[in-house]
Amino acid sequence: MSSQDDQASLDQDLAAAFDDAEGVEATEEPVAEPEPELEPLEPPHMWGKEYKDTFNEWGNLENGRAYQEAMTKLYGETQAHVTKKEQEAAAYRREVDQWNSMFQPYANEFRMRGITPHAVTNQMLGYYQALQSDPAQAIQRLAKEHGVDLEKMVQEQPYIPPEVAAMQKQLEQMQAAQQQREQYAAQAEQHQALQRIETFAKATDASGQPLRPHFDQVIDQMTGLIQAFKYQHGSVPNDDQLQTIYENACKLDEDISAQVAAKAEAEEAARKSAEAKKAKSAAKRPQGKQTGHGGESKSLKEDLSAAWDEQVA
């Protein structure tokens, strides 16, 4: 093969390699995105200044944030553990206080006899266990320890004929039934009273305005007055008596009493103004054109309403 043939073959190989290179897309190295800057960690607010400063200095160290996060997590777990123990201690203190309050009335007696609440508790638990396992023997033991002659007690009990015992039992049953009926009656009376008071509180006039607008504000005063009424009369008040109680309760509140008085004065002034206007209108009307009551242009209620509007304005 000649040198010309070699050169032609080399050119062909280079051309083919160049064509292959053109068909391959160039790949770029991925560019790493910068990590977002994190907000600095704050030390726990309960720490002192010295420890807070040290915590903040850690943030400037290499891997300092990891130290801060580890310390914050450790502090949180420690605080959770401390809080749990404090709650357990509080529950234990409440239980101890209950026991102390139970034994407090007998403290002087225990001191004089030289015994402790712990010893008394052990003794009571022993009695309880003995009564559960063998009641008869436990009772005999207790009687003997306290100098009680059970046989003598039985002999001293009076003889009760069977027919008398039956009558006593029947009487007890009748008394229990009577107490149950009285209890049901009291509950029914209370329910009825609550319904009556609720209806009284929600009552409205013809225009839909509440008749007792200050009820919610004086409910506490009314409760005391109702209880006093029931104690004195033996029954719950009716609607008229409830109205009196409501008015008295309003008088006990200075602000509400002032509002009620101002409204009453305004209504009285409106009424007088309406009557004056009506009398003036009647005086100006010619005698020959007078009509009966049914022909008046305005009713007394409308006159009062107009006068009230003028008074409010």
- Looking at the DSSP bridge assignments, the partners of residue 204 are 210
Angle (deg, nearest 10), helices 117-133 and 135-145: 140
Which residues, in sequence order, are bridge partners of residue 261?
none
Instruction: Name residue, tokens 């008074």.
Output: 311
- Tokens linked to 273: 């103004």
Q: Are 307 and 266 in contact (CB under 8 A)?
A: no
Q: Taking a C-beta distance cutoff of 8 angstroms, is the pair 247, 225 a contact?
A: no
Per-residue pLDDT of the chain (313 residues; tens, 9 = 90+): 555 555 556 566 656 655 664 554 445 556 556 667 778 889 998 899 999 999 998 988 888 889 889 999 999 999 999 999 999 998 898 888 888 888 888 888 888 888 888 888 888 888 888 888 888 888 888 888 888 887 777 676 677 788 888 888 888 989 998 988 888 887 887 788 788 888 888 898 888 888 888 889 888 888 888 888 888 887 778 888 888 998 888 888 888 888 888 888 888 888 888 888 888 777 766 655 444 444 444 555 566 566 556 554 5
CA distance 126 to 192: 51
pTM above 0.75, yes or no: no
Token digits of residue 175: 């008394």
* Surface-to-core class of residue 284, CB atoms within 10 Å of its CB (0-12 exposed, 13-18 middle, 19+ buried): exposed
